[in-house]
Amino acid sequence: MNPLLSIQTRAHCNSFRYCPGRLRRPLGVILLLSALADTVKAETIVSSLGNPQTQFIGFAQDSWAASSFQTDNEAWSLSSISVAFAGNAFGSSTADLRLYSDVGGKPSVSLLDLGTLTLTADNNVLLRTFSLNSTFILNPSTTYWVALGAVENGLDVNVLFDNVPPFTFTGVPGASMTYSATSSTGSSPPVNWITPGPNVALPFEVDGVVAAPEPGSIILMSLGGIGLILRRKLR
């Protein structure tokens, strides 16, 4: 190495307090935070998909069924809700999925319309996922209702558990599901919910990401702090 070049490089680092080596730690932190951001994935809050599906229920147009779940003590950013059901064997049909609040053990206010799925003419029971296009926060220790309805041409649906001993569910500790369902007919969105009783429930799964603290906010604040450090070093 040229001795003169070495002296000039050291002089530059000493006079301006800048050297490529000084940037390694902040850049390493940036790369680590970016990696962490990429690894944030939705996890299952609660799911009843492990139970056998034993009863066929026919959904006429504007018929709905809903089952409830309760979150744990965390706030969650909802990612998707998946429900196992079949379509109409005699023609295409359209299913709608909504999220409701709870009042007195029944669905109350429609909080979120997760959208519709158009089904082809077959009656195979499949896991169908309704994904969110915007942010929706599930509050801690709160009961919600997942409502599935036929909004066009009716559904020939195998969606309800019947006489399952025992009813089981999985998910994060503290979250739970109720082995019961309520139904509504004659309108979209549904009103006038009635409770048919226990031993029936929608087979569904709720997925999300812990909402507090928000990983994205932490990363942005960290990157801002690193930017200030780099600016100071460059001076």
- How do residues 138-185 score in pLDDT, each as one tens digit? 999 999 999 999 988 877 655 677 777 788 999 999 999 988 889 999
Write down the pTM of the prediction. 0.74
What residue spans define the domains of the chain?
A: 6-40+215-234, 43-210
pLDDT in tens, 52-100: 776 777 788 899 999 999 999 999 999 999 999 888 878 888 999 999 9
R_g (Cα) of the chain, nearest Å: 26
Six-digit token string for 10: 């050291």
Beta-bridge partners for 99: 112, 146
For the chain, the average pLDDT equals 79
Q: Are 151 and 188 in contact (CB under 8 A)?
A: yes
Characterise 110 by phi-psi region: left (phi > 0), alpha (psi -120 to 50), beta (else).
beta
The domain defined by 43-210 folds into Jelly Rolls (2.60.120)
Name the DSSP letter for residue 104: T
